[in-house]
Every structure is written in structure tokens, then in C-alpha cells.
């Protein structure tokens, strides 16, 4: 039985994760942590830590997991390049599943996007539109950026060089090789992502809509159970789902 701990256990996502753990017969709830709690006091109570907190809290938890040889599932978004490097370095010592979105549906969508980009991407103007609730602080969302990365890689492009995050002040025709991002924030939207491929005479849109946080929680628990017997390394949900 895989024993799971949750960082940020008192938040909305933390509560969803606890519900997902309790509903899964392959795992059990080991411990929960929030602000002021110390992972080091409960190391004997869990095998894998699931973290959907904030970058600083995630990195603090990562340091403890690395020191104590505990596996970790990270769903936090908004990391800087230097912070991402810390995660990559830690994965050389412990197994980590790191994904901006743990939803099975989203990760299937990523596979579809890869295929679509190869087939129609070179002839398309590509735009990514995402919507989330008013409390989400990072923009674009980690999932939108991952979608952009998948599409860019399929086309042999570097997302850091072809991404456009705002068009104010751009007074020239659209560059066909760019990938545009638009973010919407408001209400209680759990998450909606659309990648649109605009071609002359037609448009293909691939959309994923989330109506419950449980899709992320269930995916994270699935990842935690999958991770328990894996060697050190940095894994994605594509690995978990064998996509």
C-alpha cells in the first residue's frame, strides 16, 4: 500500500487530493502539511509526497524529500528557470513526477496536439487560449505553456523565441511562425484550454474543459502510486499514462 502525504493539505486542492486518496484502494493517507508544519516530523508516515502549493513551498518540500529519499509528485506551476533547474537536479537523486496538469484528459490532449501540429501546424497560425478562476496567480497557465511547448517541439521551434504573450504595440502582420497566448481570469472556472490552428478556409480547435478539481487529484494519486517503485529520474504524466 502506497502511503501518500499532501503538502498544502488545507487548501481546496489539498482537500480534493485527500478525497482522491481515500477513494483509491491502492493508496492510503499518511500525513498532511500546511504553513508552519514540518515534513521532517512525519517522514516515517509516507512514501510519496504530492505537492500542489506555491513554488517556494514546493522547493522547501523538495529539499526535504531529497534529503530523506522520498518520492515526490509536483503539480505546482509558476517556477522560474532557475527553480526548474533545482527540480531537475533533485531528480538525479529521487524519483519525481512533475507535470503542470495531472488530468488524464489533458495529457491525452497533449498527444493529440503533437500529432495535429505535425500534420497542420506548418500551414497554420497557432493561438492558445486559456481561462481560469480569478484567484489563479500565474499567467499563462502551466498547462497552456506545456501545450505551447508540445506544439513548438513538434514543429522544430523554440517556444521561448516564438511565443507571443501580448500584441499591444505590435503594428505589423502576424508572423506565421509565432504561437500566441491569451489568458482569461474570472469567476470559478476550474480550467479551460483551447489550441486553435488557423488555416485559409478552415480552423481546427482542440479544447479541454475541466469542471472539477478531482480530475487533477485523481491523476496525481495515480502518478504517486505509479512512482513508488521507479528509480531516480524526472517523469511526466505522459510516462505515467504510457503515452
Under DSSP, the state recorded for 165 is S
Question: What residues have CB less than 8 Å from 78, skipping those under 6 apart?
Answer: 54, 55, 137, 138, 142
Burial class (CB in 10 A: 0-12, 13-18, 19+), 170: exposed
Is 133 marked active-site?
Answer: no
Three-state SS at 194 = strand
Bridge partners of 30, per DSSP, are: none
HEC profile for 71-104?
A: EEEECCCCCCHHHHHHHHHHCCCCEEEECCCCCH
Residue 158 to residue 176: CA distance in whole angstroms: 14
Q: Which long-range contacts (CB under 8 A, 24 or more apart) does 202-211 make?
A: 204/116, 204/120, 204/124, 206/109, 206/112, 206/113, 206/116, 208/103, 208/105, 208/106, 208/109, 210/103, 210/105, 210/106
List the one residue out of 131, 137, 145 whose CA is nearest residue 208.
131
Write out the three cell numbers for 11.
487548501
Annotated active-site residue in 66, 132, 208, 225: 132
Is 208 marked active-site?
Answer: no
Catalytic residues: 132, 136
Amino acid at each position: 500500500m502506497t502511503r501518500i502525504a499532501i503538502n498544502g493539505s488545507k487548501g481546496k486542492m489539498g482537500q480534493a487530493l485527500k478525497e482522491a486518496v481515500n477513494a483509491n484502494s491502492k493508496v492510503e493517507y499518511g500525513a498532511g502539511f500546511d504553513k508552519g508544519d514540518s515534513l521532517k516530523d512525519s517522514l516515517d508516515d509516507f512514501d510519496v509526497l504530492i505537492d500542489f502549493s506555491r513554488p517556494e513551498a514546493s522547493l522547501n518540500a523538495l529539499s526535504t524529500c531529497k534529503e530523506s529519499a522520498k518520492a515526490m509528485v509536483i503539480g505546482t506551476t509558476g517556477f522560474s528557470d532557475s527553480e526548474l533547474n533545482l527540480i531537475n537536479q533533485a531528480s538525479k537523486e529521487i524519483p519525481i513526477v512533475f507535470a503542470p496538469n495531472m488530468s488524464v484528459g489533458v495529457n491525452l490532449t497533449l498527444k493529440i496536439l503533437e500529432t495535429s501540429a505535425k500534420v497542420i501546424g506548418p500551414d497554420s497560425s497557432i493561438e492558445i487560449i486559456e481561462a481560469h478562476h480569478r484567484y489563479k496567480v500565474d499567467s499563462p497557465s502551466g498547462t497552456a505553456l506545456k501545450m505551447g511547448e508540445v506544439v513548438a517541439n513538434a514543429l522544430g521551434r523554440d517556444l521561448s523565441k516564438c511565443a507571443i504573450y501580448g500584441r499591444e504595440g505590435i503594428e505589423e502582420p502576424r508572423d506565421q511562425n509565432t504561437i500566441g497566448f491569451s489568458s482569461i481570469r474570472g469567476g470559478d472556472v476550474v480550467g479551460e484550454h483551447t489550441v486553435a490552428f488557423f488555416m485559409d478556409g478552415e480552423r481546427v480547435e482542440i479544447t479541454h474543459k475541466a469542471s472539477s478539481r478531482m480530475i487533477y487529484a485523481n491523476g496525481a494519486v495515480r502518478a504517486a502510486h505509479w512512482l513508488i517503485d521507479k528509480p531516480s529520474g524526472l517523469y511526466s504524466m505522459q510516462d505515467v499514462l504510457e503515452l
